[in-house]
Amino acid sequence: MEDDVREAIFRRVDEEPFARKLDLELIELDDGYSVVEMTFTKDLENIFGMAHGGAIFGLIDEAFETAGNSHGTMAVALNMNITYMAAPSPGARLRAEAKELNLTPRTATYDIKVTDEKQTLIASCQALVYRKKKRLPFLEERPSPTP
């Protein structure tokens, strides 16, 4: 994986408002591969006091987004099919691992699994991106120096 792509994606996730809202943390990134984690907190509960499906979807989508764009080519979601398997326990550390199954010049397919720290399968997703024929627009950005 190109170092400039890795650094740029890590930087963008750190700055992304949605990732900050869910406290998503990009842990690993390689060509077609990503691991993103978050903690299931009380503010992510649904009306039943369980993890909101949207919160788990957000975790999956961040892993999908980072894995899909890891080649340095802009990729956007076409389809995501998620199956929820189990509800995580309060305070559980959730891990979404995205693995590229197929890559073509125009599309790529991913398998994404969400597990907790006990390796319980929380959700599974099959996802498809459309790969645009342009480099990531933020690759030329440089982090601002810290005073």
* Gyration radius of the chain's alpha carbons: 15
The mean of the pLDDT values for the chain is 95
The sign one gets for the Cα dihedral 57, 126, 121, 7 is negative
Q: In this structure, is residue 70 part of a structural domain?
A: yes
- Over residues 74-100, the pLDDT tens digits come to 999 999 999 999 999 999 999 999 999
Q: Give the range of the structural domain holding residue 13, as residue numbers without chain letter.
A: 3-135
* Number of domains the chain contains: 1
The 10 Å Cβ neighbour count of residue 58 is: 19
Q: Judge whether 30 and 10 are in contact, CB under 8 Å.
A: no
142 has a pLDDT exceeding 70 = no
Q: In this structure, is residue 147 part of a structural domain? A: no
CATH of the domain at 127: 3.10.129.10
The residues, ordered by sequence, that sit 6+ positions from 139 with a Cβ below 8 Å of its Cβ are: 4, 5, 8, 72
Per residue in 47-72, pLDDT (tens digit) is 999 999 999 999 999 999 999 999 99
Give me the torsion for CA of 56, 23, 40, 30, rounded to 10°: 60
Q: Is residue 64 part of a domain?
A: yes
In a domain, 142, yes or no: no
At 77, list the tokens.
């979601």
| Contact of 99 with 32, CB cutoff 8 Å | yes
3-class state of residue 81 by DSSP? strand
DSSP-assigned letter for residue 72: S
φ/ψ of 137, rounded to 5, equals: -65, -20
Note whether residue 143 is domain-resident.
no
Predicted model pTM:
0.94
Residues 7, 141: Cα–Cα separation, whole Å: 11
Distance CA 78, CA 66 (A): 15
Beta pairing class for 73-84 and 121-135: antiparallel
In the predicted structure, residue 19 carries a pLDDT above the cut 90: yes
